[in-house]
Structure 1
Amino acid sequence: MDKANILVLGSGGFGLSLAVMLNGMGHDVTVWSKFRTELDDIRRDGENKAKLPGVKISEKIRLTDDISEVKGKDLVIFGIPVNFVRSVAKEAAPFIDEKTVLVNTGKGLEGGSLKFISQVIFEETGKKIVVLTGPSHAEEVAIGMPTTVIAASEIPEQAEYVQSVMSNSTLRIYNNDDVIGCEIGGALKNVIALCAGICDGMGFGDNTKAALMTRGIWEISRLGMALGGRQETFAGLSGVGDLIVTCTSMHSRNRRAGILIGQGVSPDEAVKQVGTVEGYFCTKAAYELSRKCGICLPITEKCYNVLYNGASPRDAIRELMGRPKRQESEISLYDLK
């Protein structure tokens, strides 16, 4: 493995976890943030106490608020919330070299446009990207717990480069060319994880969560296949793998926010207490996209009503359980029943 010159855009938990890992592999690593105070806090404390507590940030990792430092980098990794990707990509675009490989780790859909994040970055930079996705909590990546993820790209050489540069004894990377499928899996699992948390907060048990996750991956598959993703992708790391880890772990902000909602906290207050909850925003985007495509996503629809229309979680559960009797394997993707 050759040493690479890498910049991570974002000083949040996952971006920093990758920076720590890549620095430990011997790469030259710089972390950018638009928030100078956050960088100053990291310099002072040697860690990000709010977003990745207990993980030491080596002094060898450079910290900067100068976006022009993307220039000359071999690899630029977007590690920022989905809603801010477009503005940061636009700001960085004039400084990105032709040879630079872009990687996105955020999981979601852009609000309003309902576009994939790969589409957003392409529109602002003119470059195809690699989507890095799969079951990968920042807290575990940073301390070297064995983790497997997907590097998805329409350009095989780019995915292979990411696989070569970032793979190590604790991070195993598989390649995939189904970018749409991988992005949909990573985005919509946040919606199902919110629902899993709501069920936990309401005191439901293992049966409920197993049913929710199983029918949830069906919903993810239906929308993903309608948009051009491949069915087998949703049975892999970026589908069922990511769904399992996000629905079952207290590392998941989506699940934690859902627990609060299930306990009676309002959705707005739950998001305020937990912080960045990608599933909150993705639920709205996924619901709107499903209606646009004519796809029935019952769980997503009920979640949307709870989050945005003031519906009761208990009523939502009752309505889901009372839906018309069906075959488990529904053939038609385009079915609003």
Structure 2
Amino acid sequence: MIDKVSVIGAGSLGTAIAQLVSNNAEKVYLYVKRIEVVEDILYTRRNLQYYPNTLLASNIEPKYKYEPDLHPDIIFFCVPSSAVRTVASEAKKMIGSDTILVSAAKGIEYPSGKTMSQIIYEETGKHPVILSGPNFASEIIMNKPTVTTIASKEPKVNEKVKNALTTEEFAVDTTSDVIGSEMCSILKNISAIAYGICEGMNLNENARFAVLNKAFLENKEIITKLGGDPSTVDGYCGLGDMALTSISSQSRNHTMGILYGQKISIDEKSSSILFEGKKSVLAVKEICKKNNINMDIIVFVNAVLNHQKSPEIAFIELWRKMV
């Protein structure tokens, strides 16, 4: 049994992770952005915004401020990619010498081109473990059969995080391929947008899955040239997460792709819905250009999202490059 675990971010994923690790930890501290969420959890034992019907474990304690002397065994970063740098900087005061960091954030900082693990290392001096799907938070908190991948170059660190997460329903696969695992979690969002655009255009299924297959092959090339293991793309955090995110109606990036394929733009600020893939497209495009990597899917998605071309014209140009 692990002593103390901190989960930063009380959104859908952070709350689900806190509930999950409460099975294997004496105490779980769930850090929230708004004080009213602390009050809700204290008085109702529920996160009313995300899971109003789910009773949280009694050993989950909501927190509003970081405590310098806490030094938990593991800290999970479950915040949007846009908040990772700020959160890592603020939370480093409670990181002990033996504290393990886990990044569940997916995305690339633009225009720096830095991944979330690189940002966390810059701010804390520690390399985080990568946690990468195929996961939906709503299924995790409901104890549905789920598998995830964690990646660290240190086998003992992987084992400790695996022990914190594993339950009868939640299986954990481990790998040392940090680059491949993290890039899979980024690229799958772009693949999902591409598939969604095709669906929004009402393209036939042959065409949609041809595009998804091309995205899979391009993801392998990108990860290989960046120093990752191409076989990682065949695994749970690769093909599994890409398929889940691209096809499921629960996927935000899939939904966004559909809307753009129907020529419906989204105002993220007014909707308060975060689409990690949209923020990654420009950064990945720059990385591919710099490393001379084929990026037909990236170009297709970028052209549609940034209104450079209509979905129909962008697709015709992509289709000419399929073989």
The amino acid of 1:213's aligned partner reads L
The amino acid of 2:188's aligned partner reads K
Find the counterpart in structure 1 of residue 89 from structure 2. Answer: 90
Corresponding residue to 1:269 among 254, 267, 274: 267
| Aligned equivalents of 2:195, 2:7: Cα separation in 1 | 31
Find the counterpart in structure 2 of residue 334 from structure 1. Answer: none
Q: CA deviation at 1:247?
A: 0.8
The answer as to 2:140 corresponding to 1:141 is yes
| Aligned equivalents of 1:136, 1:278: Cα separation in 2 | 15
Q: CA deviation at 1:264?
A: 2.2
Change (3 A) 1:194 1:275: same
Corresponding residue to 1:285 among 283, 286, 289: 283
Change (3 A) 1:44 1:216: farther
Change (3 A) 1:166 1:264: same
| Aligned equivalents of 1:71, 1:14: Cα separation in 2 | 22
SS of equivalent to 2:28: strand
| Aligned equivalents of 2:146, 2:185: Cα separation in 1 | 16
Aligned counterparts, 1:26-175, within 5 A? 27-43=26-42, 46-52=45-51, 54-68=53-67, 71-175=70-174
The amino acid of 1:283's aligned partner reads V
SS of equivalent to 1:162: helix
The farther-off stretch of 157-166 and 19-28 is 19-28
TM-score scaled by length of structure 1? 0.90
Change (3 A) 1:70 1:217: farther
The amino acid of 2:117's aligned partner reads S
| Aligned equivalents of 1:76, 1:21: Cα separation in 2 | 14
RMSD of aligned residue pairs (Cα, Å): 2.0
| Aligned equivalents of 1:287, 1:184: Cα separation in 2 | 13
Find the counterpart in structure 2 of residue 260 from structure 1. Answer: 259
The amino acid of 2:279's aligned partner reads F
Is contact 1:152-1:177 (8 Å) kept? yes
SS of equivalent to 1:31: strand
| Aligned equivalents of 2:314, 2:15: Cα separation in 1 | 38
SS of equivalent to 1:159: helix
Q: CA deviation at 1:57?
A: 2.8
Change (3 A) 1:214 1:260: same
Find the counterpart in structure 2 of residue 331 from structure 1. Answer: none
| Aligned equivalents of 1:101, 1:316: Cα separation in 2 | 44
SS of equivalent to 1:5: strand
| Aligned equivalents of 2:191, 2:283: Cα separation in 1 | 14
* Percent identity (aligned): 31
Q: CA deviation at 1:284?
A: 1.5
| Aligned equivalents of 2:244, 2:47: Cα separation in 1 | 23
Aligned counterparts, 1:176-215, within 5 A? 176-215=175-214
SS of equivalent to 2:173: strand
Q: CA deviation at 1:241?
A: 0.9
Change (3 A) 1:102 1:70: farther
The amino acid of 1:124's aligned partner reads E
Find the counterpart in structure 2 of residue 249 from structure 1. Answer: 248
Find the counterpart in structure 1 of residue 316 from structure 2. Answer: 318
| Aligned equivalents of 1:234, 1:141: Cα separation in 2 | 23
Q: CA deviation at 1:309?
A: 3.8
CA offsets 1:71-117 (integer angstroms, 9 cap, x no match): 22111000001111111111111221011111011111122211121
TM-score scaled by length of structure 2? 0.93
SS of equivalent to 2:167: coil
| Aligned equivalents of 1:53, 1:285: Cα separation in 2 | 36
The amino acid of 1:196's aligned partner reads Y
**Residue segments in structure 1 that go unaligned for 5+ positions in a row:** 327-337
